[in-house]
Chains A and B, each alone.
Chain A
Amino acid sequence: MTLLATVLLVPWVAGALLVGLDGRRRPLAWSAVAVLAVGLVLLVALTVRVASAGPVQLVTGGWPAGVGIVLRADALGATFAVVSQLVLLVAAAHEAIPGPRARSFPGLVVLLAAGLTGLFLTGDVFNFYVFFEVAMTASYALAAYGGRPRQLRAALVFAAVNLLGSFIFLLSVAGTYRITGSLAMADVADGVLRAGANAGLLVAVGFFVAFSTKLGLFPFHFWLPTVYAGSRPAVAAILSGAVANIGGYGLIRFGAGIFPAQLRMAATALVVLGAASIVYGGVLAVSRGDTAELLAYSAIGQVGYVLVAVGVGGPVGLAAAVFYSVVNALNKALLFLTAGLRGPLVAGAFVVGALSVAGVPPAAGFVGKLTLFRTGVAAGSPALVVLLLVGSALSLLYMFMNYQRQFWRSDPAAGTTVSPLPRRALVAVLALLVLALGLWAEPLWQLSQQAADLFARESG
């Protein structure tokens, strides 16, 4: 229990301190990295405990449950918290190596970590909204990092669209309170079962729209290419590898945990939307010349897989959704960071990321795709399996077209400056991690299955 409180408090205190200081100085940037590393170690310890001894729960202020706010760490939340923290750590180190360009950067990343950790470890719907806004506010400011017109425009688009998503989320929270009379997730899930079908569906659709906007799924994706292509590589890695996890986590937590009946009812619609996302993202990514833009469209395609897995549902589908979300976050962080670098080791790291996105062994994406195929088979739908195959073929095509264009060209004007070695070593380490996750996927797969079992018990 103290571990759960410590995990939340460390980034809060450190972030509040760091934001007030000049983050352009190297020692401060590295101390932010150290705070994130400490947070990661604590989160891993928490995850190990959750995996071996079951969920950890804490009611704030010692109030009885129902009055106080419930903090709850289970396999699903802990997994997402660990992967988000890891991406933030790598991105912060990536910027700390040459020294950040803006004074607020290190503090904002730590505050973002505080918001994300809180969001994944809360058991209360409104508290989820508060942490969600903390994380989003930090990421709006981060999107403007760099300060050039392109980044400012990206930040404005990102902030305007996602604020709208946040308020739709808030409207849905109000609706939830209206129909269930409570805010703790466990009570809300019980209340929804008793509430009228129409009201439940309306609120569920509101949550779905809010999370899809965050995730950048097909009909809500319009803001995503501008933002990912416009922001700096480290920020794009943070947005796609850590902030987008909110959407995936929310779909699983709210869809399977709170609105299971509505999820079953809308299963076909979700699978169709996911399929549209996969095809749209894949086809447009093939047509893009710019690497960052290509990766942005690829991100739209990849989250489609998560939505398909959530739509199919059941223990197999949800475990695949969790597993694929984690792998996708790491892939995208690796690729966005690599896209901005030049020199030895970089092309190798890019290939590992490309193989992982396409689902070729031994990268982690292979195991992810395998679990998705298993989902398709479990759903008993040949069309779904064919679609997944087409999506993978498209991703192989666009990733390697880009690889060829970026790393095989002979134009000396494009690649004269070699990036500093520590930066290249960092992406190489991340690439090794993706490989290791593909070679020894057992722990993550176990964790994903534990997360899926959570909902099997609740709904069954």
Chain B
Amino acid sequence: MNLAFATGAAVLFGCGAYLLLHRDLFRVVGGIALISQAATLTLIASGLTRGRAPISPEPNEPVSDPVPQALALTALVIGLATLALLLALVHRLTVVLRTARHDELAAQEAQHESRLEPDRQRDRDEAT
């Protein structure tokens, strides 16, 4: 069972890392979402015990560990909130710049930088 969880988390993390390296911003967000799921899966796997639910334990019978489940729930909620925030940010960026691709953003940034370059050059001339 441990192996299955470990493989699952590893595959999720790997896919997430792959998507994270994409140029499309929505894929980057997807990658982060997958990595957050990998973390949640690892949390659940960190305390795997078979037994009854701890709300009504019976004597002499094993009880399943409730802590990782509580942790996973909290982590899911936090993951959802951060994901929503990230999507809102990407949406705002696409509205403002009309593109959701890293390379186009970088090109606009470079254009902006090159316009600033004369100012900088003047600064340097004056400093030396």
Contacts and interface: CB of A to CB of B under 8 A. Distances in A.
Interface string B18-55: 00100001001000100110110011011100000000
A112 to B, nearest CB: 14
A349 B34 CA distance: 46
A160 B32 contact: yes
A43 B47 CA distance: 37
Interface residues of A, number: 38
A11 B75 CA distance: 23
A385 interface: no
B89 interface: yes
A25 interface: no
B109 interface: yes
Which residue among B28, B38, B39 has the maximum number of chain A CB atoms within 10 Å of its CB?
A: B39
B82 A163 contact: yes
A130 B74 contact: yes
B85 A289 contact: no
A290 interface: yes
B45 A174 contact: yes
A174 B36 CA distance: 13
Nearest to A290: B120
B126 A409 contact: yes
Interface stretch (A28-36, A147-155, A313-321, A375-383): A147-155
A300 B112 CA distance: 25
B68 to A, nearest CB: 7
Contacts of A159: 82, 85-86, 89
Interface of B: 20, 25, 28, 32, 35-36, 38-39, 42-43, 45-47, 67-68, 71, 74-75, 78, 81-82, 85-86, 89-90, 92-93, 96-97, 105, 108-109, 112, 120, 122-124, 126-127
11 contacts: A129-B75, A152-B93, A160-B20, A167-B35, A170-B42, A171-B42, A174-B46, A177-B67, A178-B47, A411-B122, A411-B126
Given A153-B93, A178-B46, A183-B67, 8 more contacts: A144-B92, A149-B97, A152-B96, A153-B105, A159-B86, A164-B35, A174-B39, A404-B127
Can you list the 7 inter-chain pairs with the closest CB atoms, starting with the nearest? A178-B46, A174-B46, A170-B39, A174-B42, A174-B43, A167-B39, A289-B120
